[in-house]
Structure 1
Amino acid sequence: MFFFAENFPGIWTTFNQVFKYSEKEEQKQEAETYMNLAQQHLSHLSNCRGLGEESVSSSLKCSYNTISSPFLRLAPLKLEQLSLDPQIVLYHDVIYKQEIADILRLTKPYFRRALVGSDVARSDVRRGSMRVGLAQNASLSIERLNRRLKDMSGFELSFNKELEVINYGIGGQYYMHYKCRFELNKQAYLENNNRIATVLLYLTDVQLGGFTSFPLLNMGVQPKKGAALMWHNVNNAAESDKRMLHAACPVLQGNRWVAAQWFEMTK
């Protein structure tokens, strides 16, 4: 992580101070926490500059998905594996022009400032975007799109689950966050309807910036119109996967239009 630091003198100075004080036993835990946060931030900055590490493995493949639903045997989807553990895939050419036009036509008049927090929603400088929910039956093309999302993910959608449409203008971003809670109590974990998987639909290209960043994986994904990025927020033991910390990088030029669908864990 230290090759980043030459570009950030203040962070480099802070690193040295943290190491110095971490020699004292009572401050080691606090220093370690701070160091982890600083490392995540530096990795995120690198991803947002397009410098994230690309996974190179003979196990990663491009293929046609024909197995996550019976319908895909007739109409397979183009899939690119970005990571196997944790699982992250990019579907290409899965959103059609008419569907994108319908989404924008139906939502543009109703955008509001995006909020954060599940208990008490509030505005926050960490999230600079506009959002609106779109019902599954908003139009015939939206119904077809939602069926395709179920086919590609292999998960069922809740009957009242909306497609969240989000716009990030110049400087718009969503800083590092999780889509799954970390609960010590298993019953509380299930009752929170944790989002076990995310599908992020790219409705436009972005001229500069707007990457999807995974700081703990040193991975940044550039938006591509018509593509869909999918990842699992829980591991194989159905526990929240801490590696899935992610963020929407600031938009430097253009607009970032995306639509997000989440698949929830229920009791």
Structure 2
Amino acid sequence: MEKISRISNELKEWIEKTLNSGAAPELIVDAMIKKGFDARYSYTTIFRIIQNQPVQTINNQSPYTYELPPIAQKGKLIYTSNHNPIKVTMRMEKPFILCLDNLLSAQECDELIALSKNRLQRSQVIDAATGKKKTVPGRTSEGTEFMVLENKMISRIEKRIAELIDYPIDHGECLQVLHYNRGEEYKTHYDFFPQSKVASSKGGQRIATLLMYLNDVEAGGETLFPKLGLSVSPKKGSAIYFHYGNSKGQTDRLSSHSSTPVLTGEKWVATKWIRQRKIYE
């Protein structure tokens, strides 16, 4: 049987992510050979990826079809029932990204931080191979999460987010708060799941992220979109919304992003991931 000598974009990105998580290159090579890849091609491919050299790939996904999310129909000032107007400070169409100011009040930011401090644990990621959570060297923050509608403040924020993006509260995962000390980061990644790990019984694929900044960072800690050349600096109370899933079940690979290392001070953020469908019964 002829050996495989070309990888897909998805596999290349999985290899990059797995290497960033600290996996041994030889283990990835062994896995590729067992899957039918040519041995020499496997070794060469891993070497080129480690050296940040180009690797020829096959694109198994049709070109992403852009569809404007509900929030795109709103103006530069977005009104909700329990907060002052939220201001759109930047908009990008492909991929769809909004920078938002005044999403959270200073008091709400401080309260979220205070409630989180005694609940922090080492942040984890979803293993692309097993679907289970694990810690990796590429994500060095601490974090916690709040159950949907856990208390009055969380309920107030959840309601505001639902009104802002026009997705029901039950389409959103638990609100997650992350803390980065000096030098900590989250290397380049996607927020959506590999297609093989999408759980249709748990809301399906992630389609959007709302990232809220809870403090001003003295230096570093930007949200970087490397494929776009876009870098967003943390500002207390502000947020960034990016949409990367459409009605066809496609995911937008231009949405890869990272949290750059904190150089001075610390960084606090709150994250809300949105699914295709209702998560909770």
The TM-score normalised by the length of structure 1 is: 0.70
- Deviation of residue 122 (structure 1)? 1.7
Secondary structure at the counterpart of residue 134 of structure 2: coil
CA contact (8 A) 2:171 2:277 kept: no
- Deviation of residue 155 (structure 1)? 1.2
Partner residue in 1 for 2:218 = 207
Q: How has the CA–CA distance of structure 1 residues 211 and 75 changed in structure 2, closer, same or farther, with 3 Å as cutoff?
A: closer
Cα distance in 1, alignment partners of residues 118 and 165 from structure 2: 30
Q: Match for 1:148: what amino acid?
A: R
Percent of aligned pairs with the same residue?
27
- Structure 1: give runs of 5+ residues left out of the alignment: 1-25, 41-61
Does structure 1 residue 83 correspond to structure 2 residue 83? no
Does structure 1 residue 147 correspond to structure 2 residue 159? yes
Cα distance in 2, alignment partners of residues 198 and 160 from structure 1: 10
Q: How has the CA–CA distance of structure 1 residues 89 and 64 changed in structure 2, closer, same or farther, with 3 Å as cutoff?
A: same
CA contact (8 A) 1:91 1:229 kept: yes
Partner residue in 2 for 1:49 = none
Q: Match for 2:252: what amino acid?
A: D
Does structure 1 residue 259 correspond to structure 2 residue 273? no
- Deviation of residue 259 (structure 1)? 0.4
Secondary structure at the counterpart of residue 260 of structure 1: strand
Normalized per residue, the structure richer in helix is 1
Does structure 1 residue 93 correspond to structure 2 residue 102? yes
Q: Match for 2:142: what amino acid?
A: M
Count of residues in correspondence between the two structures: 215
Q: How has the CA–CA distance of structure 1 residues 152 and 34 changed in structure 2, closer, same or farther, with 3 Å as cutoff?
A: farther
- Deviation of residue 133 (structure 1)? 0.7
Secondary structure at the counterpart of residue 76 of structure 2: strand
CA contact (8 A) 1:202 1:225 kept: yes
Does structure 1 residue 38 correspond to structure 2 residue 52? yes
Q: How has the CA–CA distance of structure 1 residues 33 and 182 changed in structure 2, closer, same or farther, with 3 Å as cutoff?
A: farther
Partner residue in 2 for 1:52 = none
Q: How has the CA–CA distance of structure 1 residues 172 and 114 changed in structure 2, closer, same or farther, with 3 Å as cutoff?
A: same
Secondary structure at the counterpart of residue 90 of structure 1: strand
Residue correspondence of structure 1 range 153-232 to structure 2 within 5 A: 153-158=165-170, 161-183=173-195, 190=200, 193-232=204-243
Q: How has the CA–CA distance of structure 1 residues 126 and 79 changed in structure 2, closer, same or farther, with 3 Å as cutoff?
A: same
The TM-score normalised by the length of structure 2 is: 0.67
